[in-house]
A and B are shown apart, each in its own frame.
Chain A
Amino acid sequence: MDLVTSVFPWITNGPLIAVQVMSGLSVAMFLFLVSVGMSLIFGVTRIVNLAHGAFYMVGAYLMVTLVEVLPEHMLSFWIALLVAPLGVAALGGLVEIGLLRRIYHRDPLMQLILTFGLILVIGTLVLLVWGPDNKSVARPDALAGSVRIFGQPFPSYYLLVLALAPVVAIGLWLIFYRTRWGTLIRAATVDRDMLGALGVNVAALYTQVFVFGSWLAGVGGALSAPTVAVALGMDGDVLTTAFVVVVIGGLGSFAGSFISALLVGQLQSFGILIFPAISIVLLFAIMAVVLIVRPWGLLGHPEE
């Protein structure tokens, strides 16, 4: 125990640990929003959308612009939070209809490369529209300060994020398991051809799912805008972490993304305390282990 406390002096600091757990949970929320969209898109269309991080970034930048443009009012932050993801959803629709629809029948690797190309295109367009400087979004007045939790300061905005997490998770669960649309999505994940044979318009379903997944990425980006510096490199960071989450949880698995986001959120939160220099290596090492031992992820299904 002496050794442990000397290496990790914070281990006996209960309040610090509690706050760390909570901040890990709010990180998990962002990760979940992004990765569940990515996973959903993969489940139905079989495309790993590498541009998903770029969609998230566009969500954050749209938030920046909307908060600037909208007149100062109590509600404008919330209106921006509603509108920004819709913009990302529209972008997703454009990409799906204009590009991806033409390559569904092609080699999955070509699809991967195409979405990689999209990263470059979207990244440059964002640079041209918003310029190279970092942007920030002010938190709404009501949530600008911080609260004390066990004597430790904790930003109140993160409380909003934490409160939204169960709402989003339950909302998605209801959509997937209690609506006809959700049933179609789950059916498409299992057997798309059969679904098409049964008379479902699979092409339309693909577009809807892609738009919905992009919208989720947009929500994540818009929601995270007040917590980070909105910068050009953020798409890569988000992509790599979301990618790890999706792979650990299992591509195409809703519950897998949820559990894996919780895991990775805590890992990031505590990784910074334990191995500050190599927390990202730790993340990828865990992903590598999962891929080696169980390539289809914790809750995914083996490739047929």
Chain B
Amino acid sequence: MNVARWVGALAAMIIMPLVLPSFVVVVLTEIAIVALFATAFNLLMGYGGMVSFGHAAYFALGAYAAALVVKRGELPMLLGLAAAPVLAAVGALLFGFFIVRLTHTYFAMLSLAFAQIVFTVVFKWTALTGGDNGILNVWPPLWLKSPRAYCYFTLAVAGSAIVAIHAIVNSPFGYALKAIRDNPRRARFIGVNVRRHQLIAFVLSGAFSGLAGGLFAFFNGSVFPDFAFLNKSFEPLVVALLGGVQSFFGPLAGAFGFKILETVIARQWPMYWPLFLGSVVIVVIILLPQGFVGLVERRRWRSRATGR
């Protein structure tokens, strides 16, 4: 990604909310949040080779942290948003300590188990979380109340976070992580502390997921136990998969595709949405292992190869 593209992306982010109708602006806000969630998830999956089946746990921890700080603590919204990644990171540290000890299938299963625990605690601890009724009226302050203002705010926060994740994967730490993904034994051999790197990646990924959760809490105006449920854990997975996990911007593209499809299909035929989502996932796995971005990149690579 060269400078011109970054500038282009920035310009698009500034112009789009101005010119688009407010309904689309709302969708755009949600896309930014999903993109952050999926990119944070892909920090683990694409770069660390660790697939979490329970990332909703950290999204929910972030959302609830934000909601609780604002509603129960009666503190300003920015403090609530700041609390989101913190609580999510604490949760990710606590759970990740155990999860990174396992590999592959078992890693996925333990992460799922912890997410189920988070879901149950949120669901049952009615005194604090409101249980099934959730926490309502978690709105941002007046200056962020309009969809357009909140869209800019979300684009700025999520955008900076994605830039930060980009910096992380391109840092020495990111390279060590990729080395671990490709060959953990060899990485350990050359002196990389495998588990510590994995745990740090897990905590970072959890914290950014929590930030996405916090942004979503104020976007949605309420938080519910569903945020920690299996279906939510599936979301970043599908988004990353759609976009392609091999590329940093895959999840970003996936978020656009996912949300646009959801807006069109789930609005028109809500009953068919899971059917559609499931079928898309199955088709992508069987026919397009690299995701849609992978498809585009392969085409480009091919045309470049034949051009020479």
Chain A residues in the interface with B (C-beta under 8 A): 48, 99, 102-103, 106, 108-110, 112-114, 116-121, 123-125, 127-128, 236, 240, 243-244, 247, 251, 277-278, 280-281, 284-285, 287-288, 291-292, 295-296, 303
Contact = CB atoms under 8 A, between A and B. Distances in A.
Most B-side CB within 10 Å, residue of A108, A120, A247: A120
B12 interface: no
Contacts of A99: 282, 286
Contacts of A119: 278
Given A236-B230, A291-B109, A292-B101, A284 B116 contact: yes
A281 B114 CA distance: 9
Nearest to A240: B116
B108 A103 contact: no
A108 B108 CA distance: 10
Interface in B54-103: 98, 101-103
Nearest to A51: B278
Interface in B102-118: 102-106, 108-110, 112-114, 116-117
Interface of B: 51, 53, 98, 101-106, 108-110, 112-114, 116-117, 120-121, 124, 230, 234, 237, 241, 271-272, 274-275, 277-282, 285-286, 289
Contacts of B277: 117, 120
Given A121-B278, A284-B116, A247 B121 contact: no
Given A116-B281, A243-B109, A287-B113, A277 B124 contact: yes
Contacts of B271: 124, 127-128
7 contacts: A112-B105, A113-B241, A116-B237, A127-B271, A291-B102, A292-B101, A295-B101
Given A128-B271, A288-B113, A303-B106, A117 B285 contact: yes
Given A123-B274, A128-B271, 7 more contacts: A103-B285, A121-B274, A121-B275, A240-B116, A251-B105, A291-B113, A303-B104
Nearest to A125: B275
Contacts of B120: 278, 280-281, 284
Contact of B102 (A278, A285, A295): A295
Is chain A's interface secondary structure helix, strand, loop, or mixed overall?
helix
B104 A108 contact: yes
A243 B110 CA distance: 11
A254 to B, nearest CB: 19
A303 B103 contact: yes
B278 A103 contact: no
B20 to A, nearest CB: 30
Contacts of A120: 274-275, 277-278, 281
A121 B230 contact: no
Contacts of B116: 240, 280, 284
A65 B274 CA distance: 24
Given A119-B278, A288-B98, A109 B108 contact: yes
A113 B286 CA distance: 11
Contacts of B289: 106, 110
Given A113-B237, A247-B109, A288 B114 contact: yes
Contacts of A280: 116, 120
Contacts of B230: 236
- Interface pairs A-B: 4 shortest CB-CB: A120-B278, A124-B275, A117-B281, A121-B278
B106 A285 contact: no
A270 B102 CA distance: 30
A216 to B, nearest CB: 21
A117 B279 contact: yes
A288 B110 contact: yes
A74 to B, nearest CB: 39
Contacts of B241: 113
B284 to A, nearest CB: 9
Nearest to A111: B285
Contact of B282 (A117, A277, A285, A292): A117
Given A112-B108, A291-B106, A292-B101, A124 B286 contact: no
A120 B277 CA distance: 7
